[in-house]
Chain A
Amino acid sequence: MINIEEANKKAVENMMEARPVVVGVAPAIEVIPGMKDNLLLHAGPPVTWERMCGPMKGNMIGALLFEGVTKDAQEAEAMLASGKYQFAACHDFASVGPMAGVISPKMMVFIVEDQVFGNKAYSGLNEGRGKVIRMGYYGQDAIERMLWLNEVFGPTVDAALKSSGGVDLRSLLGKALHMGDDGHNRLDAASILFTTVLAPHVSKVAKNSDIAFDVLKFMGENALTILNPVMAGCKTASMAAHGVEGSTVVSVMGRNGTDFGLKVSGLGDRWFTAPAPHVKALYFAGFTEKDANPDIGDSVITETTGIGGFAMAAAPAIVTFIGGRAQDAIRNTLDMYEITTAEHKYYTIPYLDFRGTPTGVDIRKVVEKQLAPRVNTGVAHKDPGVGQVGAGVVSMPMSAFEDALIAFADKYGI
């Protein structure tokens, strides 16, 4: 007979003990196992072209423009609809992507290696906020930025990482949480720490001072540079927690803008899905909720492994970004203790007397208390080609957790 408590303890222990280190940057096709020339990875659970939401279609179009296999958006769209390309979930290829999260073969990705369990995970290079291709915008300016990231920024950071011997994300995040970050939407401290570690190495390995200047300026201005390696780091923690027989701990959560999907440690590779929820958001000037696409992105991997929205109490400043009071941030973290298995050993919250962050969502607790994980997130425009329109807070849909609970009872004869 299974022992759920023991299994969950083991899954969460693995999740916390994973020790992700950013070791390099390389083209997806060279490093992601199973990556092919005609494969496009995306955020959330698998989805067909027909069901794909606007921003993800936009990101796919942008990816083909970036790959240089098509001359314009119209041709790209036809090519994507033709069946020439296959689509798959990043998560099923050891990867994660924020927002639409598309990874195409030539795109440079961060390589993050877990030094305890040996897993490797990957995530692209972040373009910053606003009109960006991961939000579905594919204007020439965005494509050019992607090219610069791939040709200049990526190789330089790769060399800097190698020169530095890698950046330990677990200790970096532990520190950042004490400096007002949540590890998902607020990464100002983490970004400074990352830049501080890499700057000397960038200045050493850059081909010339102009490149060093551009790379460091970009890192300094774009706090989200660190988001993708953090997400890949969380993915390694998720991989360590996955596949523990008898465990009800959620190992994967993600959204593709059409569906939300989750995986449970003790339920193999099956996705449990539900329609992606709408985000309660504050909108940029000129936009309203009518413009908003439903929830999208793999960034919820941070909450899945105990940071992000779950660590909001460490980042009270985040409430300015979602509208609310500092007390709301505290409350959110306290609520998440109700649905998690453990308090994180390495990520702690000063304001709560250094209590560990709530870690390891348990489907039993979510269903019993009807309290779903809450996430802070950006909101993309529902149409391809526009980009970000706001940011807010969203609860993951309950029915996916309920389906998983029923499947768990079926599988284990409970």
Chain B
Amino acid sequence: MSVIKSEIRGGVYYDSAVLMALQRSLADLPGVEDAGVIMGTPTNKELLVRVNLVTPEVEQAKENDLVIVVRAGDERAASDALQRVDELLSARKSSIQQDYRPRSLDGAQSMMPDANWVLVSVAGRYAAGVAREALRLNKHVFLFSDNVSVEEEISLKAEAAQKGLLVMGPDCGTAMINGIGLGFANKVRRGPIGVVAAAGTGLQQVASRIDQLGGGMTFGIGTGGRDLSEKVGGVTFLMGLDALSRDPDTKVIVLVSKPPSPKVADQVLRVARKAGKPVVVNFIGRTPISRRVGNLFFASGLDDAAALAVELVKNPPVLEGEPELPIARFAPGQKYLRGLFSGGTLAYEAQHLLTEYVPKVYANAPINKENKLKDSLVSVEHTIVDLGEDEFTVGRLHPMMDNDLRIRRMMEEAEDPEVAVIFLDVVIGFGSHPDPASELGPAIAEAKAKAEKAGRYLEVVAVCTGTEEDPQKLSHQIRQLKQGGAWVETSNEVAVRYAGQILQALNQPSEETQLIAAPVDLETLKKPVKALNVGLESFAENLTAQGAPVLQVDWQPPAAGNEKLASILERMKKLSSAE
């Protein structure tokens, strides 16, 4: 007949790794069938019920009680096991350094004032408090703990952003800073690739592949899986991206994420466009529309992202300067695009590309049926009309040969006070109008003049498809279009993306005026990692093994978990930090 014996210890706290180790050691003792070592939370107690490790004492245990239970073959074996608890606990302690362990972050701060990182892996309900303390001490935070509420995450990140500090997490599994791995991390060669990741194993996979492919890393900045959600708004991701953009040692940036909120992903990409260096993007679940947009390189997967980054380091691409957008010249209320196409495929491609910039584009020949214009003659919001469709060519020449209809429609659109951009394609070559720009150029000038007279600014973007050897001569066409005031490109994609960026800027909801983050001080990031570790001791041991100085904090929940006292202390702290 088995005997179950238990011991309850109040007011003590051990991290879960210690408890698990103790549990294993107890279970290994002679005569012991099973052992449980837990903090007395309701969930934990249920677990004990399931494995038949419950005594009346255990049922009475409170959340902050340490519960030790053993089930053994006989009374003697059970009591012997319980008696060895202290010995087993201290055996563990003595294998670690004998030096003094501070009991709090401020205690640790006085012992290692130049620590630049705090690793937090305590139970979720205490983690935000510890992280906040770390921010008060002006440290970057690696927040491994999970079960931190999204509200806490938002408030922590807001506080961090104000101070230019990174909160990596909550639930951040990994980070690599100057060749030192925090949390779960791989030993990766140092080199010129910087990664920002809202994906723990994603970061490990990319980092490992970079190393295997002969590349190396400056930083692997984890953000926690929720960072790119709409609520959190990508605070850490954007700060990390900004820091890597400014870091002279980072030549190529890689962005990795579990499926992000589309809105936040758009914002990240907008910022990434301005990084001034190649940025490889792999947002899982978001199919890239192009392989490359300016400095952005879209990867099809984690492995591809690593390979692309290594390749871009070897063969740096030529990055053209981004065109300046004439945003300030538009009048309030101008926000829509009207695309007047002669070519059907070009019109389709434009619709497709624009999905990256605006939510909905109406068309007479839509990719998506629900975007079909009710009346092809009347534009709605963003509209793309293919004037080469049959409905327009009945009894009339194709718009590649006859400009009349397009010019008339352009004049109409120019009158609309909500229109900001008119897009035209000019396709030359055999069979086309002998000199289309000779008519379109002056028409563009007139349309622009019309808008200007009404106190507006009209941007006309034209893509010119043809060659120098064509009868109409490409450069001749371009010159005339430019004379009319058009922005002219020879690539449909480049032209559409230029228009798309303008539209995106004009349609940005005002709520998106995001919190202004103070830039992360690069120097604090570039300094060798020196850390204070609160929680899992193995994280400290790993840092020691990597040669990074670390101080383990012998942390206990504030006021031993007494909520009334803890809340008074928290209010006092707020008072002090407000001072």
A binding-site residues for B, Cβ under 8 Å: 1-6, 248, 327, 330-331, 334-335, 337-338, 364-365, 367-371, 402, 405-406, 409, 414
Q: Which of the residues B100, B556, B569, B579 comes within 8 Å of A334, measured between beta carbons?
A: B100
Once A335-B103, A370-B11 are accepted as A-B contacts, the answer to whether A414 and B568 lie under 8 Å apart by CB is yes
Contacts of A402 in B (CB 8 A): 559, 562, 565
Interface pair B559/A338, CB less than 8 Å apart: no
**What's the nearest-Cβ distance from chain A to residue B96, in Å?**
15
Interface pair A367/B565, CB less than 8 Å apart: yes
Contacts of A2 in B (CB 8 A): 575
Interface pair A4/B103, CB less than 8 Å apart: no
A1–B579 CA distance with the chains assembled, in angstroms: 9
B100 to A, closest residue via Cβ: A334
> Is B329 on the interface with A (CB-CB < 8 A)?
no
A334 to B, closest residue via Cβ: B100
Contacts of A331 in B (CB 8 A): 100
Q: Which of the residues A1, A5, A405 comes within 8 Å of B568, measured between beta carbons?
A: A405
Q: Which of the residues A6, A369, A406 comes within 8 Å of B103, measured between beta carbons?
A: A369
Interface pair A3/B579, CB less than 8 Å apart: yes
Once A5-B579, A338-B102, A338-B107 are accepted as A-B contacts, the answer to whether A409 and B556 lie under 8 Å apart by CB is no
Interface pair A370/B560, CB less than 8 Å apart: yes
Interface pair B565/A371, CB less than 8 Å apart: no
Q: List 9 A-B contacts (CB under 8 A).
A: A3-B576, A331-B100, A338-B103, A364-B572, A369-B556, A369-B558, A405-B565, A414-B571, A414-B575
**What's the nearest-Cβ distance from chain B to residue A324, in Å?**
15
A132–B560 CA distance with the chains assembled, in angstroms: 41
In the complex, given contacts A330-B100, A414-B572, what are 18 additional A-B residue pairs having Cβ atoms less than 8 angstroms apart? A4-B572, A4-B575, A4-B579, A5-B579, A248-B572, A327-B98, A338-B107, A364-B572, A367-B559, A368-B559, A369-B104, A369-B556, A402-B559, A405-B568, A406-B564, A406-B568, A409-B572, A414-B571
Contacts of B559 in A (CB 8 A): 367-368, 370, 402
**What's the nearest-Cβ distance from chain B to residue A412, in Å?**
9
A10–B556 CA distance with the chains assembled, in angstroms: 29
A330–B101 CA distance with the chains assembled, in angstroms: 12
Once A337-B110, A406-B565 are accepted as A-B contacts, the answer to whether A4 and B104 lie under 8 Å apart by CB is no
Once A367-B559, A369-B104, A369-B556 are accepted as A-B contacts, the answer to whether A409 and B576 lie under 8 Å apart by CB is no
B12 to A, closest residue via Cβ: A370
Once A402-B565, A406-B565 are accepted as A-B contacts, the answer to whether A368 and B104 lie under 8 Å apart by CB is yes
**What's the nearest-Cβ distance from chain B to residue A248, in Å?**
8
Contacts of B103 in A (CB 8 A): 335, 338, 369, 371
Interface majority SS (helix, strand, loop, mixed), chain B = helix
Contacts of B560 in A (CB 8 A): 370
Contacts of A406 in B (CB 8 A): 564-565, 568
A402–B566 CA distance with the chains assembled, in angstroms: 10
**What's the nearest-Cβ distance from chain B to residue A404, in Å?**
11
Contacts of A365 in B (CB 8 A): 104
Interface pair B104/A338, CB less than 8 Å apart: yes
Within 8 A of A (CB), among B542-579: 556, 558-560, 562, 564-566, 568-569, 571-572, 575-576, 579
A75–B240 CA distance with the chains assembled, in angstroms: 82
Contacts of A6 in B (CB 8 A): 579
Interface pair B571/A370, CB less than 8 Å apart: no
Contacts of B564 in A (CB 8 A): 406
**What's the nearest-Cβ distance from chain A to residue B377, in Å?**
68
Interface pair B556/A370, CB less than 8 Å apart: yes
Contacts of A334 in B (CB 8 A): 100, 102
Interface pair A4/B568, CB less than 8 Å apart: no
Contacts of B565 in A (CB 8 A): 367, 402, 405-406
Interface pair B576/A5, CB less than 8 Å apart: yes
Candidate in A5, A370, A405 with the most chain B CB atoms within 10 angstroms? A370
Contacts of B562 in A (CB 8 A): 402
Contacts of B579 in A (CB 8 A): 3-6
The 3 closest A-B pairs by CB, nearest first: A338-B107, A409-B568, A370-B560
A4–B566 CA distance with the chains assembled, in angstroms: 17
A294–B579 CA distance with the chains assembled, in angstroms: 42
A347–B566 CA distance with the chains assembled, in angstroms: 33
Contacts of B569 in A (CB 8 A): 364, 367-368, 405
A369–B575 CA distance with the chains assembled, in angstroms: 19
Contacts of B572 in A (CB 8 A): 4, 248, 364, 409, 414
Contacts of A371 in B (CB 8 A): 103
A365–B573 CA distance with the chains assembled, in angstroms: 11
Contacts of B571 in A (CB 8 A): 409, 414
Candidate in A4, A365, A368 with the most chain B CB atoms within 10 angstroms? A368
Candidate in B556, B558, B571, B575 with the most chain A CB atoms within 10 angstroms? B575
Within 8 A of A (CB), among B64-103: 98, 100, 102-103
Contacts of A368 in B (CB 8 A): 104, 558-559, 566, 569
Interface pair B576/A337, CB less than 8 Å apart: no
